[in-house]
Amino acid sequence: MALGPRGLGLLSPAVLSFLDPVVPVALATLGVLVGLGIGLDRRGDRRLLIAANLESGLTMLAVAVGTALVAPAAITSTTVPPWMLALVAGICAATSLTLPAGTSVESRARVLRVVELDVLLPILAGGLVLAAARESSLLAAVSLVTQACIVTVALGATGWLLLARTSVDTEQRVFAIATLLLVGGAADYLSLSALLGGLVAGTFWQSVGGQARDCIRRDVIYVQHPLLVLVLLVAGARTDPSPTSLGLAVAYVCVRTAGKVAGGLMAKRVAGIGAPPDLGVHLISPGILGVAFALNAVRAIGSDMSVVLTVVVAGTIGAELLAGLSQPRKALE
């Protein structure tokens, strides 16, 4: 935000437009990371998957309803329908990727797994919502997403065919980068969710396994931090803070926190033994996938979604502060 056009101006519109093509690739890479990390074969994963979806679904619903109630009155400078704004905000609020410290090893492992799994529903929902923004009917949107997923699997298979047999380091790297560019680029070209594209590709590589998966994993891990930084920089620079958006952000944090705490309570019952009693508190920390999805929405739908991006970015900072405040108190207890 400080470096962006409304701050120091170092990230000027020209520089941002230069970085724009990289954003969908960064988002797809995040999706691939999630896909590679899924592997639902661990003990108790199904229960945790249900718990995570319950928790993220409840948060999504709470924030979407809250936004839908406020949006028509507060957000007037956009042509995007309020229900779309509400759904995107809800999806952005539903994920949490950071892990609070200070829990027992067992609890920590289960919390981590819930955090890993609670991104699935928002990514899937996000894919449909962005397709719905492009198409005239829900059926057409579903059809588009299905076709896009098939194309992504074909691109994933291309990468797999090339990477499974090559042993030259440079060649492996070139093929891995090319495949990630194709996956991210395909979603961008169709104005769909790059996160979903990445998730589909990552799941495909995870399921076929072997050298292709290892090469992709190695290169994705190598670039993950710089790409995360890039996503956050671009997201920050693209925000347009105003009293309205900051006010909305406060409401966003409150509703999200309530949704997470309530969702955590429900998830705790489903997850069973091993989940900490205050699971919801651990999920307040928002992570960055929400910001990534908001950026994805701006990229796919257009600058009309900037207001949601601003709310999500400010809300993420607020929620992170709140999470930070809640942890020391918990540690003292």
Partner 1 sequence: MRRLTALALAVGAMLWLRELGVTGTVGSAGTALALGFALLGAWIAGDVLRRFHLPRLTGYLVFGVIVGPYLGNVITESMAAQLHVITGIATTLIALIAGLTLNLERLGRRLVTITYMTGATLAVAIIGLSAIAWIGWPWLPVAPDATGLARVAMVALLVVMVVSFSPTMAAAVIADTGARGRLSDMVLAMVILADLMLLVLFSVCMQLARVVFETGEGEGIDLLVRFAWEIGGALAFGVLLGALFALYMRYIGREVTLALLAVCGVLSQVGTTQQFEPLLAAVAAGLVIENLAVAQGDTLRAAVQRGAPPVLVVFFVAVGTSLRLDAVAAIGFGAIALSAVRLGFIRLGVRAGVKLSGLDEHIGKYAWTGLVSQAGITLGFASVVAAEFAGWGNQVQLLLVGSIAIHELVGPILFRHGLARAGDLDAPVSRPLVVVSNREPYLHSQDGDGRITSSAATGGVAVALDALMRERGGVWIAHGAGPADRLVVDAADKLGVPPESPSYVLRRLWLEEPTFSAYYGGFANEGVWPLCHVVDVRPKFRNEDWAAYKDVNARFAAAIHAELASPDAPVFIQDYHLALVAPALRAYRPEAKTALFWHIPWPYPDRLRICPWRREILAGLLANDLLAFQLERDRRNFLMAAEEDLGAEIDSEASRVRFEGRHTTVVSVPIGVDYDRIQAIAADPSLEQEQERLKNLLGLRAELIGIGVDRLDYTKGIPERLAALDAVMERQPGLRGRMTFVQIGVPSRSELQSYAEIEAEISRRVAEVNARHAVPGGAPAICYYRAPLTAFSLAALYRLAHFCVVSSLSDGMNLVAKEFVAARDDEDGVLVLSALAGAAQELDTALLINPYDVEGFADTLSRAIDMPREERMARMRAMRRVVAGRNVFIWASDILEGLESLWTKPLHYSVRGWEEMSV
Give the binding site for partner 1 (CB under 8 A).
15, 17-18, 20-22, 24-25, 134, 144, 147-148, 151, 154-155, 157-159, 161-162, 164-165, 170-171, 173-175, 177-186, 188-191, 223, 225-226, 299-300, 302
Buried (b) or exposed (e) across 167-194, using 16+ Cβ within 10 A?
A: eeeeebeebbeebbbbbbbbbbebbbbb
Comparing CA positions, the residue from 229, 258, 207, 233 lying closest to residue 60 is 258
Which CB, 183 or 253, lies closer to partner 1?
183
Closest distance to partner 1 from the beta carbon of 15 (Å)? 8
Residue type, 247: G
List all residues 6 or more positions away from 93 whose beta carbon is below 8 Å from its beta carbon: 59, 60, 62, 63, 252, 255, 256, 259, 286, 290, 312, 315
Taking the C-alpha atoms of residue 39 and residue 134, their distance in angstroms, rounded to an integer, is 32
What is the rounded distance in angstroms from the CA atom of residue 90 to the CA atom of residue 21? 26
Q: With respect to partner 1, which residue has the nearer C-beta, 27 or 52?
A: 27
Nearer to partner 1, 40 or 161 (CB): 161
25-52: burial string, b at 16+ Cβ within 10 Å, e else: bbbbbbbbbbbbebeeeeeebebbbebb
Please answer whether residues 305 and 227 qualify as being in contact, where contact means their C-beta atoms are separated by less than 8 angstroms.
no
Q: Are 82 and 72 in contact (CB under 8 A)?
A: yes
Nearer residue to partner 1 within complex by CB, 221 or 250 = 221
Q: Rank residues 104 and 143 by Cβ distance to partner 1 and give the closer one.
A: 143
| Residue 265 vs residues 18, 28, 131, 172, 282: alpha-carbon distances, Å | 45, 32, 32, 46, 11
**Residue closer to partner 1 (CB basis): 171 or 320:** 171
In terms of CB distance, is 21 or 328 closer to partner 1? 21
Shortest approach of partner 1 to residue 80 CB, angstroms? 15
Q: Which is nearer to partner 1, 158 or 244 (CB)?
A: 158
Residue with tokens 């992170």: 320
| Minimum CB–partner distance for residue 174 and partner 1 (Å) | 5
Cβ closest to partner 1, residue 181 vs residue 232: 181
Dihedral sign, Cα of residue 255, residue 1, residue 295, residue 317: negative
The token duo for 278 is 């205050």
We find the least distance from the C-beta atom of residue 5 to partner 1, in angstroms, to be: 16
How large is the C-alpha radius of gyration of the chain? 19
- Report whether 9 contacts 176 (CB < 8 A): no
Helices and strands, number each (H, E), in the chain? 14, 0
